[in-house]
Structure 1
């Protein structure tokens, strides 16, 4: 009887009897979701081990089952999902049949979790400090008001929020996407878990903060023998940070082993496709492939013709008329400091840039540098505090309400957070068709046909039109947001971290799609991103922002090959896996 109690309490914190035994053992795991059209087998016989102190990365395209596998380890599957076979042993005990009360002892203290979507996982009506304190209290990390407050500040500082004490009183909507992600990382680390599951933990973070976070997680692994399970689409991150790599496709593990060995010498065709699609600093600007010849007897495009098109495009950039002109643009917010006092925050501080018609300008910088605020000002979603924005010769400051409405048809946006920007109560088809209805474009039949066309363009099956956002993966939701933005065939598209939630295969498809549409329709893109490897392949020119100002600007080749500012060079140096050569 005593023996049974001892085994039972192992998963609540007592060390495993064998120090060399795996912390987590997954054996023949099968996960099934019940849908209106029948059962969907999302994970089909997955097996792997995670040892104490080991860092494991699971990679694969959106819908491959990697996030589902991770959430199954703490039994947080969606309501229609269930573990239909196999076992999950945590510290030697199978938890697949644990009820909620038993799982409460595993979650947080034994297995911490950093979810993928920062906005939908933070309660918008509670302050950030309250939510962090509640997590610490629930996990029993500290007791007493002062101790809990001190621990909350400590975990946020560890997660990269230097001004954590001041930020505790603010709400999630007052944080950038990267800052919200850091809050979730702080909560996940709060109870010093033995295993931390991080589902795309740095997808919303700029490269410099990403490096700080990953360095901290690495020191945690080393000093406290904490295991890490990364769910990521960033192969550079997996190569640089994980000792073991698991490649998943369609609910199966297709390849597993030491990270560098797999990425430098991949064996499975799917792994080879992932690696080939990953952008890097050695990449070059993507251009439309329409009309390019294919080399005789080969499946690949004639690279000489592609290089010639690259040179022709560079020459055309300067000759094209200016589509968007921003002059001395400013935006100042008033930040409350308590006792009815406030102080100004210059989010955008006198920036100027031009974007030529049919070209792409990438606005890059750290989280909080002001790049997303600049995008909202260009879109007219917020009024500027000073300066002027001209779109196609029309000054937004002098535009009437009707002129602004017409301008919005010509300018569309893909936001950073795909879940928050999609109405959870509307079907995917209705969401994509909404701009067409608002601007009274076509009849019901033509709108339905346009929705099907758009779904095909962003590599989604037509039957998804009848599903809802909560039934889609993060990457699929982002593709829906891109389809909606393209519905009106706009002249200008503002892409705010538009591919940050996408796996490398779909990312490559979307970036190629954007290049083809730009060539076909003469689209002008303002691309807001922290992913400099993506900038390399998508942008004609780059403007680097720091603390509300543009500190360096120029052509993409000039910025990447001859950066003048130390800040720009620091951004380039922080790209994960930048010095690692992948195989093919």
Structure 2
């Protein structure tokens, strides 16, 4: 269905015709991909966008025959460089994967083996694909590909393990592995979802260099419409296993024709997005009650947002200045130093992940901490949650120093302070079904009886827009976005006062992301919740946060209200972060 600009007579590198993919169940084959047609030329970049469960990743997995156990191709053709891949044996596909078709999986957490060093895993791929031979040559190539993927001090980090890397750093390792053999085609499933915007730009610039210099084609799977418009010539929009719109990226995003594409564009955060919450919760409630985040048309979405902004500004101008509320979180001079293994026997070094960090979060507001991967954002969040012990400094929750808390006092703190972690895969127990996962905090804190806990679980599933039928499913049966919604539901189970969200919406497509952000805003308005929002997505920050702290190399370099940071950034580093937002200069859907 896509119509790329091609050289007359040129043979497509990848040509998919009427692809059908289904998953075997007790009730028969459940279709996941229905009649998909794609054409991708050598050196071209094509992006597939759509919500979780639309069939994006399934289509990509079918190309390289990496469908889950119950999945199989039930019809259609996949031609790669003139070869029919649907007829290939397992051994033949192993020869194609890695060498001719590179793959960057969606999840940077579970796709690296935790018991092997990062260097060993990169070198293993290089040896398996025959890219280099000899210990020295393999190691040098491993360092090269990791540096190209944007990993600082690659030579020093080869002996470290995945748990010692941030989410973004792990994602860069996977990108380095995918590019290590200089493949003809790179399938990148959300390749930059865990990366901050500056590293994302560096990685994507490198992908463009490959495309230009050696003719590598790139098939992007992404939920970031700005990224799709900025980096891909062609765009394919999928919905419920079908392609509903395809063509040149900017043309589709500037003038979407299908109602589903219009909804995607209307829900996309951008640099032009404004905070729809006012300084007071009353204004926030009024504004949000009219805003659906998934309007039927682009014009409707723009009009609703504009009306909300106008009402908030009018109420601000006519009302008295809001009085400052007590601080829910106070961080004073917080420092965290990690010991790292050195290159020689007995040698060791230190990494300062948080360097004299200080900030306060007012009760009932949202403070976002932004910065590059490895800047110390998640480390600060873990110390606040008492999952890491500070090297020095102080953390106050509602005026109480958390350092000496133990036993019952610590349990009470955890009831009022709940996390949503970055990884929607690793943070859910694969042996627990969804109902038991969400009910776990209620059981640990002995809240209610069996009937009331079940009722609360069903209520939470509704709140995060998941069908109640999922209550008996397991995490491996859900998409990445669905798993993240389960994690958010679990965090809200005890109705906490403070929620620490570490990249809580980074794995979600724009429609679900908008629903979750609206849910968080409504819950904050209703329950006076306080949010600490850790993210690399500055477009989301503009929509959700009252205040922003910008971190660089373990320090807070700028802190102010969201509008001040976005409209009048003081630091050059902050300006670079804002300038790197993908699609910021594209007029989406207007």
Alignment TM-score, normalising by the size of structure 1 = 0.94
Equivalent residue for 2:515, pick from 503, 509, 513: 509
Asked if residue 395 in structure 1 is aligned to residue 385 in structure 2, the reply is no
Alignment-derived partner of residue 187 in structure 2: 197
Q: Secondary structure at the match of 1:507?
A: helix
Alignment-derived partner of residue 383 in structure 1: 389
Q: Secondary structure at the match of 1:89?
A: strand
Post-superposition shift, 1:401?
2.6
Alignment-derived partner of residue 551 in structure 1: 557
Asked if residue 72 in structure 1 is aligned to residue 72 in structure 2, the reply is no
Alignment-derived partner of residue 89 in structure 2: 99
Equivalent residue for 2:311, pick from 300, 304, 308: 308
Alignment TM-score, normalising by the size of structure 2 = 0.93
Alignment-derived partner of residue 206 in structure 1: 196
Alignment-derived partner of residue 49 in structure 1: 39
Separation in 2, partners of 1:553, 1:445: 46
Alignment-derived partner of residue 266 in structure 2: 276
Equivalent residue for 2:139, pick from 144, 149, 152: 149
Alignment-derived partner of residue 3 in structure 2: none
Alignment-derived partner of residue 4 in structure 1: none
**285-294 or 49-58: which moved more?**
285-294
Asked if residue 458 in structure 1 is aligned to residue 464 in structure 2, the reply is yes
Q: Secondary structure at the match of 2:585?
A: coil
Post-superposition shift, 1:317?
6.5
Post-superposition shift, 1:375?
0.2
Alignment-derived partner of residue 350 in structure 2: 344
Asked if residue 125 in structure 1 is aligned to residue 115 in structure 2, the reply is yes
Separation in 2, partners of 1:294, 1:497: 27
User: Over aligned residues, Cα RMSD in angstroms?
Assistant: 1.8
**534-543 or 318-327: which moved more?**
318-327
Alignment-derived partner of residue 154 in structure 2: 164
Separation in 1, partners of 2:182, 2:513: 34
Query: Contact (CA 8 Å) 1:286, 1:515: kept in 2 or not?
Result: no
Separation in 1, partners of 2:401, 2:582: 41
CA change 1:149–1:47 in 2 (3 A) is same
Post-superposition shift, 1:40?
1.7
1:127-151 per-position Cα deviation (integer Å, ceiling 9, x unaligned): 0011001111111111111111111
CA change 1:26–1:377 in 2 (3 A) is same
Q: Secondary structure at the match of 1:123?
A: coil
1:426-450 per-position Cα deviation (integer Å, ceiling 9, x unaligned): 1011111100000001111111111
Alignment-derived partner of residue 355 in structure 1: 361
Separation in 2, partners of 1:313, 1:369: 35
Alignment-derived partner of residue 130 in structure 2: 140
Query: Contact (CA 8 Å) 2:276, 2:305: kept in 1 or not?
Result: no
Post-superposition shift, 1:39?
2.7
Query: Contact (CA 8 Å) 1:294, 1:302: kept in 2 or not?
Result: no
Separation in 1, partners of 2:28, 2:463: 27
Equivalent residue for 2:499, pick from 493, 496, 512: 493
Asked if residue 332 in structure 1 is aligned to residue 332 in structure 2, the reply is no
Query: Contact (CA 8 Å) 1:255, 1:271: kept in 2 or not?
Result: yes
Query: Contact (CA 8 Å) 2:331, 2:360: kept in 1 or not?
Result: yes
Alignment-derived partner of residue 116 in structure 1: 106
Query: Contact (CA 8 Å) 1:286, 1:511: kept in 2 or not?
Result: no
1:133-181 per-position Cα deviation (integer Å, ceiling 9, x unaligned): 1111111111111111111111111111131111110000000000000
1:246-285 per-position Cα deviation (integer Å, ceiling 9, x unaligned): 0000000000000011111111111110000000111111
Separation in 2, partners of 1:520, 1:458: 16
Post-superposition shift, 1:34?
1.5
1:14-62 per-position Cα deviation (integer Å, ceiling 9, x unaligned): xxxx971001110000000113454321100000111100100000001
Post-superposition shift, 1:344?
2.1
Alignment-derived partner of residue 247 in structure 1: 237
Post-superposition shift, 1:308?
3.5
Q: Secondary structure at the match of 1:255?
A: strand
Separation in 1, partners of 2:322, 2:66: 50
CA change 1:536–1:175 in 2 (3 A) is same
| Structure 1 gap segments, 5+ residues each | 1-17
Separation in 2, partners of 1:93, 1:482: 44
Post-superposition shift, 1:318?
5.3
Separation in 1, partners of 2:308, 2:565: 25
Separation in 2, partners of 1:20, 1:387: 64
Equivalent residue for 2:254, pick from 264, 277, 289: 264
Separation in 1, partners of 2:435, 2:454: 8
Equivalent residue for 1:524, pick from 508, 513, 530: 530
1:516-535 per-position Cα deviation (integer Å, ceiling 9, x unaligned): 00000000000000000000
Post-superposition shift, 1:186?
0.5
Asked if residue 186 in structure 1 is aligned to residue 176 in structure 2, the reply is yes
Alignment-derived partner of residue 447 in structure 1: 453
CA change 1:227–1:454 in 2 (3 A) is same
CA change 1:322–1:310 in 2 (3 A) is farther
Post-superposition shift, 1:225?
0.6
Asked if residue 85 in structure 1 is aligned to residue 75 in structure 2, the reply is yes
